[in-house]
């Protein structure tokens, strides 16, 4: 009886509100399911890296023990974070960090300067340079890699840090992102500083660069992820452990007959930490400026 009475008692607004409420519930449930799919493999990685018994790791997978470790140990991390020895991932980690730092640092300077001149310079042919830069964006890294390896080996640069840094500093995409960011700033900024007699470089360094934190953050994250995750290029240009990055070192696990999953897991977790820190540090700016510049519908 009362069941039948409810609809008539409910006002239109109430009914809509409860419909929205149940929609919210469904939406939240969907998000939690996606979150589970996204996170559980990463969580399993973390848990597995804390297990000591490398035979047990695979046996634990597929049961709830994949998400639980009864006696966590950092011994895998201690083992792989060495700076010398057979599984000296500490060394590769430092290599990768050095490569990332140099690439991103130089990339921010070089690409932002170019973007600035393209946006505010008076150079004749600026528009042509801009269109060329945009056109170059179409060339995939994969299709220039053959001749580039030859060039680098002729120049005697293989197996160095430089060969992993210098070719990837300048990038059409990042020049364009900086150009786009600078171009949208008000021209009064430039005019006022110019009136005061500031040079172009001065205006760039003291006024525009400090204002471009969102762009700098976005490019740092994108360049950082790109540099950190490079795989094809370093496998082709590094022959020894001297300058080899951690991605290549971890990949060598797969060549072995019996994979040391415990160490592979620990090394993988180590590899995630720096890039995660970079991402968390810049995330706030990253999302907002990526949203601003990625797709101008």
Partner 1 sequence: MTLQQPALPATAVATRPARRRDRARLYQEIGMLMPAVALLTIFLVVPFLLSFWTAMTNQPLVPRPTPVRFIGLTNFLRVFKDDLFWTSLWNVSRFTFWILPVQCGLAFASALLLHQKLPLRNFFRGLFFLPAITSMVVVCVIWGTLFQYPTGPFNQVIGFLSGGRIQPIDWLGDPDWAMFSIVLLSAWQAYGFQMIVYLAGLQGIPDELYDAARIDGANAFQRFWHVTMPGLRPTHVFVLVITTIQAFKLYTQVAILTQGGPRSSTETVVHYMVRAGFEEQKLGYASAVSVILFLIVLVIALVQRQLLRRFDV
Nearer to partner 1, 75 or 198 (CB): 198
Q: Which of 68, 121, 128, 213 binds partner 1 (CB under 8 A)?
A: 121
Residue among 21, 147, 156, 210 that touches partner 1 (CB under 8 A): 147
CA–CA gap between residue 195 and residue 199 (Å, rounded): 10
State the residue for tokens 């609809």: 7
In the complex, minimum distance from the CB of residue 286 to partner 1, in angstroms, rounded to a whole number? 9
Interaction between residue 169 and partner 1 (CB under 8 A): yes
CB 159 within 8 A of CB 237: yes
Q: What is the dihedral of CA 101, 78, 256, 146, to 10 degrees?
A: 10
The one among 77, 89, 92, 190 contacting partner 1 by CB under 8 A? 190
42, 128, 273, 281: which one contacts partner 1 (CB under 8 A)? 42
Q: What is the SS3 string spanning 62-90? A: CCHHHHCCCCCCCHHHHHHCCCCCCCCHH
Taking CB under 8 A as the binding criterion, the range among 5-13, 85-93, 97-105, 267-275 that sits at the site for partner 1 is 267-275
Return the number of other C-beta atoms located less than 10 Å from residue 237's C-beta. 21
Which CA distances in Å does 197 have to 160, 192, 193?
44, 9, 7
Query: First-to-last CA distance in the chain?
Result: 54
36 binding partner 1? (CB under 8 A): no
Contacts of partner 1 in 9-28 (CB under 8 A): 24, 27-28
Q: What minimum distance in Å lies between the beta carbon of 50 and partner 1? A: 15
Name residue, tokens 């996204």.
Answer: 38
Window 71-110: residues binding partner 1 (CB under 8 A): 109-110
Which residues, 6 or more positions from 183, have their beta carbon under 8 angstroms from its beta carbon?
119, 120
Burial of 75 (0-12, 13-18, 19+ CB in 10 A): middle
Residue 118 within binding range of partner 1, rule CB under 8 A: yes
Closest separation between CB of residue 4 and partner 1, Å? Answer: 26
* Binding region for partner 1 (CB under 8 A) out of 6-14, 70-78, 86-94, 118-126: 118-126
- Contact assessment for residue 133 and residue 118, using Cβ atoms and an 8 Å cutoff: yes
* Least Å from the CB of residue 27 to partner 1: 6
How many residues of this chain interact with partner 1, rule: CB under 8 A? 113
Is residue 53 within the footprint of partner 1 (CB under 8 A)? no
Binding flags for partner 1, 209-238, as an x/- string (CB under 8 A) = ------------x---x--xx-xx--xx--
Is 199 an interacting residue with respect to partner 1 (CB under 8 A)?
yes
Alpha carbon distance 95, 161 (integer Å): 8
> In sequence order, which residues have a C-beta less than 8 Å from that of residue 65 and are 6 or more positions away?
none
- Tell me the three state secondary structure of residue 244: coil
Q: Which of 92, 120, 208, 282 binds partner 1 (CB under 8 A)?
A: 120
Q: Considering the rule CB under 8 A, would residue 56 count as an interface residue with partner 1?
A: no
**Other CB atoms closer than 10 Å to residue 168's CB: what's the count?**
18
Q: To the nearest whole angstrom, how small is the minimum distance from the Cβ of residue 98 to partner 1? A: 16
Q: Which is nearer to partner 1, 2 or 62 (CB)?
A: 62
Site for partner 1 in 271-290 (CB under 8 A): 271-272, 275-276, 279-280, 283, 287, 290
Beta strands (DSSP E) in the chain are none
């Amino acid at each position: 009886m009362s069941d039948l009475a409810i609809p008539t008692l409910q006002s239109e607004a109430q009914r809509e509100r409860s419909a929205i409420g149940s929609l919210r519930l469904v939406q939240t449930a969907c998000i939690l399911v996606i979150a589970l799919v996204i996170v559980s493999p990463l969580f399993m990685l973390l848990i597995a890296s804390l297990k000591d018994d490398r035979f047990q790791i695979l046996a634990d997978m597929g049961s709830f023990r994949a998400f639980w470790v009864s006696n966590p140990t950092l011994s895998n991390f201690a083992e792989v974070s060495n700076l010398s020895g057979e599984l000296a991932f500490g060394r590769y980690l430092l290599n990768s960090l050095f490569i990332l730092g140099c690439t991103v640092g130089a990339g921010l300077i070089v690409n932002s300067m170019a973007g600035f001149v393209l946006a505010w310079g008076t150079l004749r042919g600026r528009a042509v340079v801009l269109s060329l830069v945009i056109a170059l964006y179409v060339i995939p890294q994969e299709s220039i890699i053959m001749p580039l390896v030859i060039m680098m080996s002729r120049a005697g640069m293989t197996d160095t840090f430089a060969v992993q840094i210098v070719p990837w500093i300048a990038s059409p995409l990042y020049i364009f992102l900086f150009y786009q960011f600078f171009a949208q700033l008000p021209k009064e900024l430039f005019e006022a500083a110019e009136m005061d007699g500031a040079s172009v470089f001065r205006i760039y360094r003291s006024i525009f660069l400090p204002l471009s934190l969102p762009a700098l953050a976005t490019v740092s994250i994108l360049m950082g992820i790109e540099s950190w995750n490079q795989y094809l290029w370093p496998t082709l240009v590094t022959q020894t452990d001297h300058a080899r990055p951690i991605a290549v070192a971890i990949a060598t696990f797969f060549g072995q007959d019996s994979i040391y999953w415990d160490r592979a897991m620990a090394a993988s977790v180590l590899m995630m930490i720096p890039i995660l820190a970079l991402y968390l540090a810049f995330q706030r700016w990253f999302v907002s400026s990526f949203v601003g510049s990625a797709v101008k519908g």
